[in-house]
Structure 1
Amino acid sequence: MRSIRTISLVTAAIVTGLMAGLFAGFAYAVMPGLKRSGDAAFIEVMQNINAAILNPLFMTLFMGGLAVGLAAVVTNWRTGDPAVRYWTLAAFACYVVMFAITAGANVPLNDQLAAAGDPATIADPAAVREKFEGPWVAWNIARALVNTAALGCFAAALLRAGRATR
Protein backbone atom coordinates (compact mmCIF):
# COMPACT_ATOMS: atom_id res chain seq x y z
CA MET A 1 0.00 0.00 0.00
CA ARG A 2 2.91 2.33 0.74
CA SER A 3 4.07 2.18 -2.89
CA ILE A 4 0.58 3.10 -4.14
CA ARG A 5 0.57 6.09 -1.78
CA THR A 6 3.98 7.19 -3.02
CA ILE A 7 3.13 6.65 -6.69
CA SER A 8 -0.07 8.67 -6.32
CA LEU A 9 1.81 11.54 -4.64
CA VAL A 10 4.62 11.53 -7.20
CA THR A 11 2.18 11.41 -10.12
CA ALA A 12 0.07 14.22 -8.67
CA ALA A 13 3.19 16.32 -8.08
CA ILE A 14 4.43 15.78 -11.65
CA VAL A 15 1.10 16.64 -13.26
CA THR A 16 0.64 19.64 -10.99
CA GLY A 17 4.18 20.80 -11.75
CA LEU A 18 3.61 20.54 -15.50
CA MET A 19 0.43 22.61 -15.25
CA ALA A 20 2.04 25.17 -12.95
CA GLY A 21 4.95 25.47 -15.39
CA LEU A 22 2.60 26.05 -18.30
CA PHE A 23 0.74 28.86 -16.56
CA ALA A 24 3.94 30.37 -15.17
CA GLY A 25 5.52 30.27 -18.64
CA PHE A 26 2.60 32.29 -19.96
CA ALA A 27 3.02 34.75 -17.08
CA TYR A 28 6.75 35.41 -17.49
CA ALA A 29 7.37 34.81 -21.20
CA VAL A 30 4.38 34.41 -23.52
CA MET A 31 2.22 37.31 -22.39
CA PRO A 32 5.11 39.78 -21.95
CA GLY A 33 6.25 38.82 -25.46
CA LEU A 34 2.78 39.30 -26.89
CA LYS A 35 2.47 42.64 -25.08
CA ARG A 36 5.01 43.94 -27.60
CA SER A 37 2.76 42.97 -30.53
CA GLY A 38 0.17 45.06 -32.32
CA ASP A 39 -3.48 44.57 -31.43
CA ALA A 40 -4.47 42.42 -34.42
CA ALA A 41 -1.35 40.25 -34.06
CA PHE A 42 -2.00 39.82 -30.34
CA ILE A 43 -5.57 38.72 -30.99
CA GLU A 44 -4.57 36.36 -33.79
CA VAL A 45 -1.82 34.67 -31.77
CA MET A 46 -3.99 34.27 -28.65
CA GLN A 47 -6.83 32.85 -30.74
CA ASN A 48 -4.37 30.40 -32.29
CA ILE A 49 -2.90 29.42 -28.91
CA ASN A 50 -6.37 28.96 -27.43
CA ALA A 51 -7.34 26.66 -30.30
CA ALA A 52 -4.05 24.73 -30.29
CA ILE A 53 -3.96 24.11 -26.54
CA LEU A 54 -7.21 22.14 -26.63
CA ASN A 55 -5.37 18.95 -27.50
CA PRO A 56 -5.35 15.46 -25.95
CA LEU A 57 -2.12 15.98 -23.99
CA PHE A 58 -3.24 19.24 -22.39
CA MET A 59 -6.70 17.88 -21.60
CA THR A 60 -5.22 14.68 -20.12
CA LEU A 61 -2.92 16.67 -17.85
CA PHE A 62 -5.47 19.36 -16.95
CA MET A 63 -8.34 16.98 -16.20
CA GLY A 64 -6.03 14.21 -15.03
CA GLY A 65 -4.65 16.52 -12.36
CA LEU A 66 -8.01 16.36 -10.64
CA ALA A 67 -8.06 12.57 -10.85
CA VAL A 68 -4.50 11.96 -9.66
CA GLY A 69 -4.84 14.62 -6.97
CA LEU A 70 -7.98 12.96 -5.65
CA ALA A 71 -6.25 9.57 -5.85
CA ALA A 72 -3.40 10.99 -3.77
CA VAL A 73 -5.87 12.25 -1.17
CA VAL A 74 -7.72 8.93 -1.00
CA THR A 75 -4.64 6.71 -0.89
CA ASN A 76 -2.92 8.88 1.72
CA TRP A 77 -5.95 9.49 3.93
CA ARG A 78 -5.00 6.88 6.53
CA THR A 79 -1.26 7.32 6.78
CA GLY A 80 0.68 7.09 10.00
CA ASP A 81 1.54 10.79 9.74
CA PRO A 82 -1.54 13.05 9.62
CA ALA A 83 0.59 15.84 8.11
CA VAL A 84 0.82 13.79 4.90
CA ARG A 85 -2.97 13.78 4.72
CA TYR A 86 -3.24 17.51 5.38
CA TRP A 87 -0.53 18.49 2.87
CA THR A 88 -2.14 16.26 0.25
CA LEU A 89 -5.58 17.68 0.94
CA ALA A 90 -4.21 21.24 0.75
CA ALA A 91 -2.52 20.43 -2.55
CA PHE A 92 -5.71 19.02 -4.02
CA ALA A 93 -7.70 22.03 -2.79
CA CYS A 94 -5.23 24.38 -4.49
CA TYR A 95 -5.48 22.39 -7.71
CA VAL A 96 -9.29 22.63 -7.55
CA VAL A 97 -9.00 26.41 -7.10
CA MET A 98 -6.73 26.59 -10.17
CA PHE A 99 -9.25 24.51 -12.10
CA ALA A 100 -12.07 26.83 -11.02
CA ILE A 101 -10.12 29.94 -12.02
CA THR A 102 -9.41 28.44 -15.42
CA ALA A 103 -13.01 27.34 -15.99
CA GLY A 104 -14.59 30.45 -14.49
CA ALA A 105 -12.30 33.20 -15.79
CA ASN A 106 -9.70 32.23 -18.40
CA VAL A 107 -11.90 29.99 -20.55
CA PRO A 108 -14.78 32.50 -20.78
CA LEU A 109 -12.26 35.20 -21.74
CA ASN A 110 -10.82 32.86 -24.38
CA ASP A 111 -14.33 32.23 -25.70
CA GLN A 112 -15.01 35.97 -25.91
CA LEU A 113 -11.78 36.48 -27.82
CA ALA A 114 -12.69 33.69 -30.26
CA ALA A 115 -16.15 35.21 -30.73
CA ALA A 116 -14.56 38.51 -31.77
CA GLY A 117 -13.78 36.83 -35.09
CA ASP A 118 -11.02 37.28 -37.60
CA PRO A 119 -8.58 39.94 -36.33
CA ALA A 120 -8.29 41.32 -39.87
CA THR A 121 -12.00 42.21 -39.85
CA ILE A 122 -12.43 43.43 -36.25
CA ALA A 123 -13.45 47.09 -36.35
CA ASP A 124 -11.63 48.02 -33.14
CA PRO A 125 -8.97 45.42 -32.27
CA ALA A 126 -7.57 47.69 -29.53
CA ALA A 127 -10.89 47.55 -27.67
CA VAL A 128 -11.09 43.75 -28.04
CA ARG A 129 -7.55 43.39 -26.75
CA GLU A 130 -8.10 45.78 -23.85
CA LYS A 131 -11.16 43.85 -22.71
CA PHE A 132 -9.22 40.57 -22.83
CA GLU A 133 -5.55 41.11 -21.98
CA GLY A 134 -5.59 42.65 -18.51
CA PRO A 135 -8.14 40.31 -16.94
CA TRP A 136 -6.69 37.22 -18.64
CA VAL A 137 -3.16 38.01 -17.49
CA ALA A 138 -4.31 38.70 -13.92
CA TRP A 139 -6.28 35.45 -13.70
CA ASN A 140 -3.44 33.52 -15.30
CA ILE A 141 -1.02 34.81 -12.66
CA ALA A 142 -3.52 33.82 -9.96
CA ARG A 143 -3.84 30.29 -11.32
CA ALA A 144 -0.07 30.00 -11.75
CA LEU A 145 0.46 30.99 -8.12
CA VAL A 146 -2.21 28.71 -6.68
CA ASN A 147 -1.03 25.82 -8.84
CA THR A 148 2.55 26.41 -7.70
CA ALA A 149 1.23 26.32 -4.14
CA ALA A 150 -0.39 22.96 -4.97
CA LEU A 151 2.98 21.68 -6.18
CA GLY A 152 4.64 22.89 -2.98
CA CYS A 153 2.01 21.11 -0.89
CA PHE A 154 2.46 17.85 -2.81
CA ALA A 155 6.23 18.19 -2.31
CA ALA A 156 5.71 18.72 1.43
CA ALA A 157 3.48 15.64 1.53
CA LEU A 158 6.16 13.60 -0.24
CA LEU A 159 8.81 14.79 2.20
CA ARG A 160 6.65 13.91 5.19
CA ALA A 161 5.75 10.55 3.66
CA GLY A 162 9.45 9.84 3.13
CA ARG A 163 10.21 10.62 6.77
CA ALA A 164 7.37 8.36 7.90
CA THR A 165 8.84 5.40 6.02
CA ARG A 166 12.30 5.69 7.64
Structure 2
Amino acid sequence: MNERLLFVLTFASALGSGLIAGLFFAFSAFVMTALGRIPPHQGMAAMQSINVTILNSLFSFVFIGTALASAALAIVSYFRWGEAGTIYLLAGSLLYLLVFLVTVAFNVPLNDTLAAAKPGSAAGADIWARYLVRWTAWNHVRTAASIAALASFIIALRLRG
Protein backbone atom coordinates (compact mmCIF):
# COMPACT_ATOMS: atom_id res chain seq x y z
CA MET A 1 0.00 0.00 0.00
CA ASN A 2 1.43 3.37 -0.92
CA GLU A 3 2.01 6.06 1.70
CA ARG A 4 -0.74 8.35 0.42
CA LEU A 5 -3.41 5.64 0.64
CA LEU A 6 -2.14 4.61 4.07
CA PHE A 7 -2.42 8.22 5.24
CA VAL A 8 -5.94 8.58 3.83
CA LEU A 9 -7.14 5.33 5.46
CA THR A 10 -5.58 6.29 8.80
CA PHE A 11 -7.01 9.81 8.66
CA ALA A 12 -10.45 8.48 7.69
CA SER A 13 -10.29 5.93 10.52
CA ALA A 14 -9.38 8.68 12.98
CA LEU A 15 -12.31 10.80 11.80
CA GLY A 16 -14.70 7.86 11.85
CA SER A 17 -13.56 6.80 15.31
CA GLY A 18 -13.99 10.35 16.55
CA LEU A 19 -17.48 10.68 15.13
CA ILE A 20 -18.53 7.35 16.60
CA ALA A 21 -16.85 8.15 19.93
CA GLY A 22 -18.82 11.40 20.13
CA LEU A 23 -22.10 9.69 19.37
CA PHE A 24 -21.53 6.88 21.85
CA PHE A 25 -20.27 9.35 24.46
CA ALA A 26 -23.52 11.34 24.16
CA PHE A 27 -25.55 8.20 24.78
CA SER A 28 -23.38 7.20 27.74
CA ALA A 29 -23.19 10.69 29.23
CA PHE A 30 -26.81 11.81 29.02
CA VAL A 31 -29.13 10.34 26.38
CA MET A 32 -29.78 7.02 28.13
CA THR A 33 -30.10 8.75 31.52
CA ALA A 34 -32.64 11.15 30.03
CA LEU A 35 -34.61 8.32 28.41
CA GLY A 36 -34.58 6.45 31.73
CA ARG A 37 -36.08 9.44 33.55
CA ILE A 38 -39.22 9.66 31.47
CA PRO A 39 -42.10 7.18 31.74
CA PRO A 40 -40.93 3.74 30.55
CA HIS A 41 -43.29 3.56 27.57
CA GLN A 42 -42.05 6.94 26.32
CA GLY A 43 -38.37 6.16 26.81
CA MET A 44 -38.79 2.80 25.15
CA ALA A 45 -40.70 4.25 22.19
CA ALA A 46 -38.07 6.97 21.77
CA MET A 47 -35.23 4.43 21.75
CA GLN A 48 -37.10 2.21 19.31
CA SER A 49 -37.42 5.22 17.01
CA ILE A 50 -33.72 6.08 17.41
CA ASN A 51 -32.74 2.49 16.58
CA VAL A 52 -34.78 2.51 13.37
CA THR A 53 -33.64 5.96 12.31
CA ILE A 54 -29.94 5.39 12.94
CA LEU A 55 -29.84 2.47 10.51
CA ASN A 56 -31.09 4.72 7.71
CA SER A 57 -28.59 7.48 8.27
CA LEU A 58 -25.04 8.50 7.60
CA PHE A 59 -24.19 6.63 10.81
CA SER A 60 -24.20 3.28 8.99
CA PHE A 61 -21.75 4.55 6.37
CA VAL A 62 -19.37 5.98 8.99
CA PHE A 63 -19.69 3.02 11.37
CA ILE A 64 -19.19 0.29 8.78
CA GLY A 65 -16.75 2.29 6.65
CA THR A 66 -14.50 2.86 9.65
CA ALA A 67 -14.63 -0.86 10.47
CA LEU A 68 -13.59 -1.74 6.91
CA ALA A 69 -10.78 0.83 6.93
CA SER A 70 -9.64 -0.44 10.33
CA ALA A 71 -9.58 -4.03 9.10
CA ALA A 72 -7.46 -2.98 6.12
CA LEU A 73 -5.10 -1.05 8.41
CA ALA A 74 -4.75 -4.03 10.74
CA ILE A 75 -3.66 -6.15 7.78
CA VAL A 76 -1.27 -3.46 6.54
CA SER A 77 0.22 -3.22 10.04
CA TYR A 78 1.36 -6.81 9.79
CA PHE A 79 3.37 -6.06 6.66
CA ARG A 80 4.80 -2.79 7.99
CA TRP A 81 5.74 -4.02 11.44
CA GLY A 82 8.72 -2.11 12.79
CA GLU A 83 7.93 1.13 10.96
CA ALA A 84 7.22 4.27 12.96
CA GLY A 85 3.72 4.37 14.42
CA THR A 86 2.73 0.87 13.31
CA ILE A 87 1.94 -0.31 16.84
CA TYR A 88 -0.49 2.60 17.22
CA LEU A 89 -1.98 1.92 13.81
CA LEU A 90 -2.60 -1.68 14.84
CA ALA A 91 -3.91 -0.66 18.27
CA GLY A 92 -6.37 1.84 16.76
CA SER A 93 -7.53 -0.74 14.24
CA LEU A 94 -8.08 -3.45 16.84
CA LEU A 95 -9.79 -1.05 19.24
CA TYR A 96 -12.22 0.09 16.56
CA LEU A 97 -12.87 -3.50 15.50
CA LEU A 98 -13.68 -4.18 19.17
CA VAL A 99 -16.28 -1.39 18.95
CA PHE A 100 -17.77 -3.07 15.91
CA LEU A 101 -17.79 -6.52 17.54
CA VAL A 102 -19.35 -5.28 20.80
CA THR A 103 -22.05 -3.57 18.76
CA VAL A 104 -22.84 -6.68 16.75
CA ALA A 105 -22.59 -9.12 19.66
CA PHE A 106 -24.32 -7.13 22.40
CA ASN A 107 -25.99 -3.84 21.45
CA VAL A 108 -27.72 -5.03 18.27
CA PRO A 109 -29.30 -8.11 19.92
CA LEU A 110 -30.53 -5.87 22.75
CA ASN A 111 -31.95 -3.48 20.14
CA ASP A 112 -33.69 -6.39 18.41
CA THR A 113 -35.26 -7.50 21.70
CA LEU A 114 -36.41 -3.95 22.37
CA ALA A 115 -37.86 -3.62 18.86
CA ALA A 116 -40.05 -6.67 19.44
CA ALA A 117 -41.43 -5.35 22.74
CA LYS A 118 -44.59 -3.31 23.05
CA PRO A 119 -44.28 0.05 24.82
CA GLY A 120 -46.82 0.40 27.60
CA SER A 121 -47.05 -3.30 28.39
CA ALA A 122 -45.80 -4.85 31.63
CA ALA A 123 -43.40 -7.05 29.65
CA GLY A 124 -42.23 -3.99 27.75
CA ALA A 125 -41.49 -2.12 30.97
CA ASP A 126 -39.46 -5.08 32.25
CA ILE A 127 -37.51 -5.34 28.97
CA TRP A 128 -36.89 -1.59 29.03
CA ALA A 129 -35.53 -1.66 32.59
CA ARG A 130 -33.06 -4.43 31.73
CA TYR A 131 -32.23 -2.83 28.39
CA LEU A 132 -31.27 0.47 29.99
CA VAL A 133 -28.72 -1.21 32.26
CA ARG A 134 -27.22 -3.70 29.79
CA TRP A 135 -27.22 -1.56 26.66
CA THR A 136 -25.68 1.37 28.50
CA ALA A 137 -22.96 -0.79 30.07
CA TRP A 138 -21.94 -2.12 26.66
CA ASN A 139 -22.15 1.39 25.23
CA HIS A 140 -19.62 2.53 27.85
CA VAL A 141 -17.25 -0.14 26.48
CA ARG A 142 -17.84 1.11 22.92
CA THR A 143 -17.29 4.70 24.02
CA ALA A 144 -13.98 3.98 25.74
CA ALA A 145 -12.73 1.79 22.88
CA SER A 146 -13.65 4.31 20.18
CA ILE A 147 -11.95 7.15 22.10
CA ALA A 148 -8.85 4.97 22.52
CA ALA A 149 -8.97 4.09 18.80
CA LEU A 150 -9.14 7.78 17.91
CA ALA A 151 -6.15 8.56 20.15
CA SER A 152 -4.18 5.66 18.66
CA PHE A 153 -4.86 6.75 15.08
CA ILE A 154 -3.83 10.32 15.91
CA ILE A 155 -0.56 9.10 17.44
CA ALA A 156 0.03 6.86 14.41
CA LEU A 157 -0.48 9.82 12.08
CA ARG A 158 1.91 11.94 14.15
CA LEU A 159 4.63 9.29 14.30
CA ARG A 160 4.32 8.40 10.62
CA GLY A 161 4.22 12.13 9.75
CA distance in 2, matches of 1:123, 1:153: 45
1:61 aligns with 2:58: no
Please report how far the alpha carbon of residue 78 of structure 1 lies from its aligned counterpart in structure 2 after TM superposition.
Answer: 5.2
Corresponding residue number in structure 2 for 1:101: 102
Stretch moving more, 100-109 or 69-78: 69-78
Deviation at 1:58, TM superposition (A): 1.6
Secondary structure of the 1:22 match is helix
- Paired with 1:68 and 1:36, the residues of 2 have a C-alpha distance of 38
The aligned counterpart of 2:92 is 91
Question: Following the alignment from structure 1 to structure 2, what is the Cα–Cα distance between the partners of residues 129 and 78?
Answer: 46
Cα displacement (A) at 1:123: 2.9
Aligned residues of 1:4 and 1:75 also touching (Cα < 8 A): no
In the alignment, the residues of structure 2 paired with residue 109 and residue 155 of structure 1 have an alpha-carbon distance, to the nearest angstrom, of 32
Instruction: Report how far residue 29 of structure 1 moved.
Output: 2.2
Aligned length: 160
Amino acid at match of 2:55: L
How far did residue 38 of structure 1 move? 0.8
Q: Kindly indicate whether residue 140 of structure 2 is the aligned counterpart of residue 155 of structure 1.
A: no
Query: How high is the TM-score relative to the length of structure 2?
Result: 0.90
Confirm or deny that 1:123 pairs with 2:122.
yes
Instruction: Name the counterpart of 2:132.
Output: 133
Q: CA-to-partner distance for each residue in 1:9-59, whole Å, 9 max, x for gaps?
A: 111101111111111111112112212211111111011111111114121
Equivalent residue letter for 2:146 = N
Percentage of matched positions with identical amino acids: 34
- Partner SS, residue 82 of structure 1: coil
Q: 1:130 is aligned with what amino acid?
A: A
Give the unaligned 5+ runs of structure 1. none
**Residues 3 and 77 (structure 1), Cα distance of their counterparts in 2 relative to 1, 3 Å cut:** farther
Which residues in structure 2 correspond to 1:18-97 (within 5 Å)?
18-75=19-76, 82-97=83-98
8 Å contact from structure 1 (residues 101, 139) kept in 2: yes
Q: Deviations over 1:129-153 (max 9, x none)?
A: 2121100110001111011111111
Q: Please tell me whether Structure 1 or Structure 2 has the larger radius of gyration of its CA atoms.
A: 1
Gaps of at least 5 residues in structure 2 are none
Q: Considering only aligned residues, what root-mean-square deviation do their CA atoms show, in Å?
A: 1.9
